[in-house]
Amino acid sequence: MKSLDGIKPFEKRVWLSSPTMHGEELQFMQEAFESNWMSTVGQNINELERLVAEKIGCQYAVALSAGTAALHLATKLAGEKLYGQAKPHEGTLRGKKAFCSDLTFDASVNPVAYEDGEAVFIDTEGDTWNMDPLALEKAFVLYPDVKLIVLAHLYGTPGKLSEIKEIAKKHDALIIEDAAESFGAKYKGMETGNFGDYNAISFNGNKIITGSSGGMFLTNSREDADKVRKWSTQSREDAPWYEHEEIGYNYRMSNVIAGVVRGQLPYLNEHIERKKEIYHRYREGLRDLPLSMNPYDKNNTEPNFWLSCILIQEEAMSPIVRGEREYLYQSQKGKSNPQEIMEMLTRVNAESRPIWKPMHMQPIYRMNSFVTREGNGRGRTNAYIDEGEIMDIGADIFQRGLCLPSDNKMTEEEQEKIMEVIKRAFA
């Protein structure tokens, strides 16, 4: 165990990314309480939908209970558009494949399974840690009938949208844009949440702004917005009684939650600026260590810098083996690994997190197809091919990467102490 002598633990835990509240949130929640609009209708919802659509630059926003709900209804809508209306109790994808980001949280891809589809995972590129356009193009060679792409922007950094949209256009495929982590980020001057045929953002408790929960479906189609709004309220028909002709869901956002997000929204740019400062302070303070920060395209993108992450250089990695729930590593002088750094940060009462474990490595999706730029990657057992080139980029980032404490309320002094802990890990 490497020494942390002289470094006292934080009295209060330093979080990865916790809510940053300002006070206006309480005002809008109080209005919901006093007006007795405590359900899934009310002024907070109406105003929040208007404000978010205005911020994103789209025509319509539908407030839902979670980003996952938005992704589910986007997937259902895409399946219906591609394959027609499903029978009751049948998913709209009904056995069809969809190309999905591999390095992401499973909420991005689970809706494909909800709608009875099969995810085909597309490997990651190293420039932004998002879906690799070359691997996507290879996937269309292997599976030319696929008509749906589910694209996530990892940790608030937009992917290579121009290239992916061009590929989608060439193959007449629809795009679901999972901008859950990237609200406020821009690609070529345009807000993420505008690039897919169907788009989603999240207001979960750890996101750049939060309602404690909640999400939004974003679109320029009034027909799609109306359909999602109907589905989200149990698909009630326009009748004097509760009439239902199709399956619906209890996915509408609460007016109370909408009040919290409404109070947070004016602080979005401030939160982004603070996250950006944290990112650049890490990059500067850790520049002499054998690691790099999560990358982004400085010419085309403006991330929201939701989470600051590091990637340890291969030659500086100490040996580590991960099982499904356990791990084993060897501590070595001058080297480290993500688990060792996590343990050291825990000792000083700071939260960190491994990079998302790629979807193709998850037990639930291990039998699904996985495509790299070299071809079908299923059956490979590590991140390298025989020639020594990295084949599975996502697995390699998971192996060597770590999400650092990125909380808006973290002081410069606290961040300096965290960086000192990371330096001790390589001592």
State both tokens at 153: 């922007």
Strands lying side by side in the sheet with 190-191: 190-191, 186-187, 301-302
Separation CA 155–CA 350 (nearest Å): 19
State both tokens at 96: 């069809």
Contact 57, 189 (CB under 8 A): no
Contact 14, 353 (CB under 8 A): no
Q: Please name which of 75, 82, 54, 61 lies closest in space to residue 221, comparing C-alpha atoms.
A: 61
Establish whether 207 is a catalytic residue.
Answer: yes
> What is the 3 state secondary structure string of the chain?
CCCCCCCCCCCCCECCCCCCCCCHHHHHHHHHHHHCCCCCCCHHHHHHHHHHHHHHCCCEEEEECEHHHHHHHHHHHHHHHHHCCCCCCCCCCCCCEEEEECCCCHHHCHHHHHCCCEEEEECECCCCCCECHHHHHHHHHHCCCCCEEEEECHHHCCCCHHHHHHHHHHCCCEEEEECCCCCCCEECCEECCCCCCEEEEECECCCCCCCECEEEEEECCHHHHHHHHHHHECCECCCCCCCECCCCCECECCHHHHHHHHHHHHHHHHHHHHHHHHHHHHHHHCCCCCEEECCCCCCCEECCCCCCEEEECHHHECCEEECCCCEEECCCCCCECHHHHHHHHHHCCECCEECCCCHHHCHHHCCCCEEECCEECCCCCCCECCCCCECCHHHHHHHHEEECCCCCCCCHHHHHHHHHHHHHHCC
Contact 67, 202 (CB under 8 A): yes
**165, 207, 227, 335: the active-site residue:** 207
Residue type, 266: P
CA distances from 188 to 158, 164, 316 (A): 10, 14, 35
Q: Which residues are catalytic?
A: 207
